[in-house]
A and B are shown apart, each in its own frame.
Chain A
């Protein structure tokens, strides 16, 4: 037996030559090291081998024999490393799942930099090169640049940092425990057997051979009652065994007969008349849901095409006839174009994962989820359990972006396996599952016609969207164009095109980025044809008060004022500047409750909400601290447990606006209660009367539920009111079905992007990004900035790199690894200027609304418009990869 030294302690290495270092480290209880890609590209598993950063997911365990290993737990063991302090101070993290890998690498870079360069500050380029083996899906790169630069310059030597993010210390030290890190005594590992054909009826499923394998504790079927699989990766059964290897052997032993059926893959094939049908009429209810809200009104459905769905059209016939007329008259102002957006995967770095455990009739499930309270309710309903017998836990969640909003297969499989095995079971998806069957933002084809009037107003708009939803329905893209740029007439039609691909899911502003990609390019094109400034045209066409202020900000930017006239450039590298607008709904959740208590002289805030990297803990702590003249760290925030007072799901950008108002109510109640129960008042002239009174207070508790908003000023309306009566109906249904309220005022973003196009190599680089945001007052300013930065970088990924690749006949997802599904790296992050306009939401208690979704909506069209400005050619299909750039420059169709 060989040994290694890990964080100074000896550790025996397994003899198995196939054992990988990451498993040895994590099985030994050091769970700060994360497994994400398993292919050496994301760096989350980085550890130091004799001081050198290596990826432990690819390194044979035996390679560490006789060497010294340092994991994240060892980096700060003797007091925080300057890099850890800098990461905390600069909020160089969000969900925190990639953070240990970044910190280990950055610490090694820092140490060698300081040894050779003293306290010089490394450049952005030097930092980017050093960290090029790491990926962050939240997009914390801006803070990481600052943190590494300042740590190297010595600014954090000997300093005890203040972190704007409450749980930052746990995340930079690797102590933060995520669902995948949970380990109970006797815990089993669950693995799911999945289909490898796109369409088949499964018969003769025989689980017995799997049950017969030593070490297998439970095998459960997962097929729906129609025994059908409708996409590659559809679940068939699940196994719980003593370890993953045994579970994999067991699923291989399960036998069944797939009766293959004709399959159809993708948007174009599925629309053909002779295409095989994915869901027969009787099976339509089995389709998944790609929308955040409840399903809409009944919609017609023919073959694989569900639609037209056009509740938000406005004088559609008139729009059609005006557009026809303009077409016949060859009106030069008529903008007509077909745009295509690509499938975007959430690619959360923590995979979908659940650990289920029964203690008698008490079910406890750790889930990597965006909705602990709702998950508890749904699990209780599904298994017929009272609410108090189900507890859902999520202390830290490694990203979600919309994909972890409902009770998923990982949770169902874990619960059913745990019940059958009578032991705790963990189910954690591998990277290929994560990048194929956990949902995605559907690709879409967007046909758009836009007609300005002779007077230069917006006269008519037509947008028809066909979304590539796989085995799911309810895409809403075109309809969202009703809520911006009022026109005389609009025809807005949505279709779902189903095929034998995994179902899509909500993704950060569902429908928003695709709609904006088409509409904002069309508005840009109209401005070019009308020979008016694109920002001024938006000012004219878009009366929203929040965006009016943002347009003024954008118009005043030097980069906008100094942009070169289009087509003045002929060299290899060409620069361009583009603008685009986005909006999202202001949503809050009814019933959201917060409890404030004093326990042992300390304030404790509690809410059954979760923090997926957005900063919910800090939002609550900041709100409470401010009211009592405390530091946020003085407030203990308890979240991540479903048995706390009910909180909102982390979706629809609703958390801040749902939890701040009841927190404010509870603050008032608590202040009154403190005064009422106080045995003596603070000494006269005390600097910290509340601190003293809290310290002296007996244990007390108050709670409050989310109140209605105040009356908004004239002209400030809910976004849905733009859509007339249908908008109001939609709002009522949303409130009734999902407890979400669309409040008055429209969260908005105007973005200006400067790009450089390398016309030889087809490479697009975003040099500078300017994002203006109107989301009210900032409950946690540094974290809001982090969210804004992350939204921009995710939008850059959408615009330039990200696409799911499929095999057109078998339906296999080919981009199932992080090498092939390409999210932006640190070097792809532009310099960023964030402008917050904090007005517009004074009627909301606290004045704050959510930021996560709106901040990513306009990024892709702003980049598209910048590329048009640079090269004089409008690209209509994202991602703008090198193959598409060089084809466009040559005037030929890309593959």
Chain B
């Protein structure tokens, strides 16, 4: 709609934004949500994947999602990362969107995305979704803003204990990059002008397997209601390691540590998984409209872990 007029008020001194693939940026630009200066980094950013002798990867921030989704070595070493990349957005968007851009993308909240509505992420003082329509909001209510974090890759990287290097900081965990869920004015902890440069993953563990799935209403191309990236090591029929990182449920991707703890050392079968999956809601605080996400989360834990225990 007529963007210029719909703007409630011009944002005070908008900070410059980096543009990588532009898939999130261009949409916000067209709608008028982004109005500041843009700095295009697509030509200069790092698009390479390098491998250590021990098998650990370092992924340049400008590597496209399609590359991560189709790179044979990534798929072998980090199948949960590859599967997450394959599951997000559309084939055309994956060709252009970058890993760094995926981590730094802005919220999908309906209210945030409208130029004519103020919200906490746009210098407003309240969250209109909390009192309004938050059907796709969080089920773990950790901060003033009720929008789940949009980055599918962040959940995957959380499962893989990735470490992020920016032009100012190194050794950042996903929690370090995105915060604890209480930040409301932004979607990450990056300072103005701070740029993600690369993402490093530890070498894969012996015998580990991983998978990813999102719960959506259609078959493809939908923002996840809930998503889950899981890594497991199963030895002698028992879970030696379980790593579960969930997206769509909280302002930041969440490790499901209660489920992980419950399954550690347990027999990898449907019964133990079903029992442990109940702990997926541990610590949850659903909003009036989001209790369903906890059912979906439990279902996803069962779905993904059962497939990995086959």
**A208 within 8 Å of B (CB atoms):** no
**B170 within 8 Å of A (CB atoms):** no
> Contacts A58-B26, A819-B223: A762 and B117 contacting too (C-beta < 8 A)?
no
Out of A248, A436, A806, A812, name the residue touching B2 (CB < 8 Å): A248
> Contacts A805-B110, A887-B292: A248 and B96 contacting too (C-beta < 8 A)?
no
**A254 within 8 Å of B (CB atoms):** yes
| B221 near A133: Cβ-Cβ < 8 Å | yes
Hey, which chain B residues are within 8 Å of A817, CB to CB?
113
> Contacts A132-B90, A812-B117, A882-B292: A59 and B218 contacting too (C-beta < 8 A)?
no
**A810 within 8 Å of B (CB atoms):** yes
> Contacts A18-B29, A38-B30, A53-B95: A762 and B2 contacting too (C-beta < 8 A)?
no
| A59 near B22: Cβ-Cβ < 8 Å | yes
**B114 within 8 Å of A (CB atoms):** yes
Out of A252, A806, A816, name the residue touching B5 (CB < 8 Å): A252
Q: How far is the CB of B184 from chain A (nearest CB, A)?
A: 19
Out of B92, B217, B289, name the residue touching A133 (CB < 8 Å): B92
**B128 within 8 Å of A (CB atoms):** yes
Out of B1, B38, B93, B291, name the residue touching A816 (CB < 8 Å): B1
| A196 near B38: Cβ-Cβ < 8 Å | no
Of the candidates B5, B31, B128, B216, the one having the most CB atoms from chain A within 10 angstroms of its own CB is: B5
Bound CA span A54–B65, Å: 13
Bound CA span A65–B71, Å: 26
| B93 near A58: Cβ-Cβ < 8 Å | yes
| A827 near B218: Cβ-Cβ < 8 Å | yes
Hey, which chain A residues are within 8 Å of B3, CB to CB?
248
Q: How far is the CB of B289 from chain A (nearest CB, A)?
A: 4
| B6 near A886: Cβ-Cβ < 8 Å | no
Kindly report which residue of chain A lies nearest to residue B94, judged by CB atoms.
A133
**A338 within 8 Å of B (CB atoms):** no
Bound CA span A879–B216, Å: 13
> Contacts A762-B295, A814-B110, A895-B288: A251 and B5 contacting too (C-beta < 8 A)?
yes
Hey, which chain A residues are within 8 Å of B92, CB to CB?
40, 43, 46, 53-55, 105, 133
| A40 near B38: Cβ-Cβ < 8 Å | no
Hey, which chain B residues are within 8 Å of A758, CB to CB?
299
Kindly report which residue of chain B lies nearest to residue A37, judged by CB atoms.
B27
**Chain B: interface size category:** 35 or more
Hey, which chain B residues are within 8 Å of A806, CB to CB?
133
**A249 within 8 Å of B (CB atoms):** yes
Hey, which chain A residues are within 8 Å of B91, CB to CB?
53, 105, 129-130, 132-133
**A501 within 8 Å of B (CB atoms):** no
Bound CA span A191–B298, Å: 48
Hey, which chain B residues are within 8 Å of A129, CB to CB?
91, 220
Bitwise, A241-262 to B at CB < 8 A (1) or not (0) is: 0000000110110100000000
Bound CA span A376–B108, Å: 43
Bound CA span A17–B39, Å: 9
**A325 within 8 Å of B (CB atoms):** no
| B221 near A825: Cβ-Cβ < 8 Å | yes
Hey, which chain B residues are within 8 Å of A809, CB to CB?
131-132
Kindly report which residue of chain B lies nearest to residue A39, judged by CB atoms.
B27
Hey, which chain A residues are within 8 Å of B135, CB to CB?
805, 883, 895
**A735 within 8 Å of B (CB atoms):** no
Of the candidates A196, A761, A765, A887, the one having the most CB atoms from chain B within 10 angstroms of its own CB is: A761
Bound CA span A810–B110, Å: 13
Bitwise, B253-293 to A at CB < 8 A (1) or not (0) is: 00000000000000000000000000000000000111111
**A71 within 8 Å of B (CB atoms):** no
Hey, which chain B residues are within 8 Å of A130, CB to CB?
91
**B4 within 8 Å of A (CB atoms):** yes
| A882 near B114: Cβ-Cβ < 8 Å | no
Bound CA span A760–B294, Å: 11
Q: How far is the CB of A446 from chain B (nearest CB, A)?
A: 22
**B23 within 8 Å of A (CB atoms):** yes
* A-B contacts, CB under 8 A, total: 200
Bitwise, A104-124 to B at CB < 8 A (1) or not (0) is: 010000000000000000000
| B116 near A761: Cβ-Cβ < 8 Å | no
**A669 within 8 Å of B (CB atoms):** no
Q: How far is the CB of B256 from chain A (nearest CB, A)?
A: 16
**B185 within 8 Å of A (CB atoms):** no
Q: Which of A226-283 contact B (CB under 8 A)?
A: 233, 248-249, 251-252, 254
Bound CA span A49–B92, Å: 10
| A895 near B26: Cβ-Cβ < 8 Å | no
Hey, which chain B residues are within 8 Å of A158, CB to CB?
none
Bound CA span A436–B217, Å: 22
Q: Which of A436-474 contact B (CB under 8 A)?
A: 436
| A59 near B26: Cβ-Cβ < 8 Å | yes
Bound CA span A815–B221, Å: 16
| A38 near B5: Cβ-Cβ < 8 Å | no
**B154 within 8 Å of A (CB atoms):** no
Bound CA span A436–B91, Å: 28
> Contacts A762-B215, A801-B218: A40 and B90 contacting too (C-beta < 8 A)?
yes
**A221 within 8 Å of B (CB atoms):** no
| A882 near B217: Cβ-Cβ < 8 Å | yes
Hey, which chain B residues are within 8 Å of A133, CB to CB?
89-93, 221
Bound CA span A254–B1, Å: 15
Bitwise, A184-201 to B at CB < 8 A (1) or not (0) is: 000000011110100000
**B44 within 8 Å of A (CB atoms):** no
Out of B96, B111, B128, B131, name the residue touching A59 (CB < 8 Å): B96
Bound CA span A196–B219, Å: 35
| B220 near A825: Cβ-Cβ < 8 Å | yes
Bound CA span A882–B149, Å: 20
Hey, which chain B residues are within 8 Å of A43, CB to CB?
90, 92
Bound CA span A814–B136, Å: 12
Q: Which of A17-49 contact B (CB under 8 A)?
A: 17-18, 20, 38-41, 43, 46, 49
| A58 near B27: Cβ-Cβ < 8 Å | yes
Kindly report which residue of chain A lies nearest to residue B91, judged by CB atoms.
A133
| A433 near B38: Cβ-Cβ < 8 Å | no
Q: How far is the CB of B161 from chain A (nearest CB, A)?
A: 27
Bound CA span A894–B290, Å: 9
Kindly report which residue of chain B lies nearest to residue A807, judged by CB atoms.
B132
Kindly report which residue of chain A lies nearest to residue B113, judged by CB atoms.
A817
**B47 within 8 Å of A (CB atoms):** no
**A430 within 8 Å of B (CB atoms):** yes
| A252 near B4: Cβ-Cβ < 8 Å | yes
Q: How far is the CB of B129 from chain A (nearest CB, A)?
A: 9
Out of B8, B114, B303, name the residue touching A814 (CB < 8 Å): B114
**B40 within 8 Å of A (CB atoms):** yes
Hey, which chain B residues are within 8 Å of A20, CB to CB?
26, 30
Bound CA span A196–B131, Å: 19
Hey, which chain A residues are within 8 Å of B218, CB to CB?
800-801, 822, 824-825, 827-828
| B292 near A886: Cβ-Cβ < 8 Å | yes
**A679 within 8 Å of B (CB atoms):** no
**B296 within 8 Å of A (CB atoms):** yes
Out of A233, A762, A800, A819, name the residue touching B292 (CB < 8 Å): A762
Besides the known contacts A20-B26, A63-B42, 4 further A-B residue pairs in the complex with CB atoms under 8 A apart: A196-B5, A248-B3, A763-B215, A809-B132
22 A-B residue contacts at CB 8 Å?
Answer: A38-B30, A39-B27, A53-B92, A55-B93, A60-B22, A128-B220, A196-B5, A251-B4, A251-B5, A432-B31, A760-B300, A810-B117, A814-B114, A820-B110, A824-B218, A825-B219, A825-B220, A827-B220, A828-B219, A887-B292, A890-B295, A895-B135
B residues at A contact (CB < 8 Å): 1-8, 19, 22-23, 26-27, 29-31, 38, 40, 42, 89-93, 95-96, 108, 110-111, 113-114, 116-117, 128, 131-133, 135, 215-223, 225, 288-293, 295-296, 298-300, 302-303
Q: Which 7 A-B pairs have the closest CB atoms?
A: A133-B90, A760-B299, A252-B4, A895-B289, A827-B219, A883-B292, A132-B220
A residues at B contact (CB < 8 Å): 17-18, 20, 38-41, 43, 46, 49, 52-55, 57-60, 62-63, 105, 128-130, 132-133, 191-194, 196, 233, 248-249, 251-252, 254, 430, 432-433, 436, 758, 760-763, 765, 800-801, 805-810, 812, 814-817, 819-820, 822, 824-825, 827-828, 879, 881-884, 886-887, 890, 892, 894-895
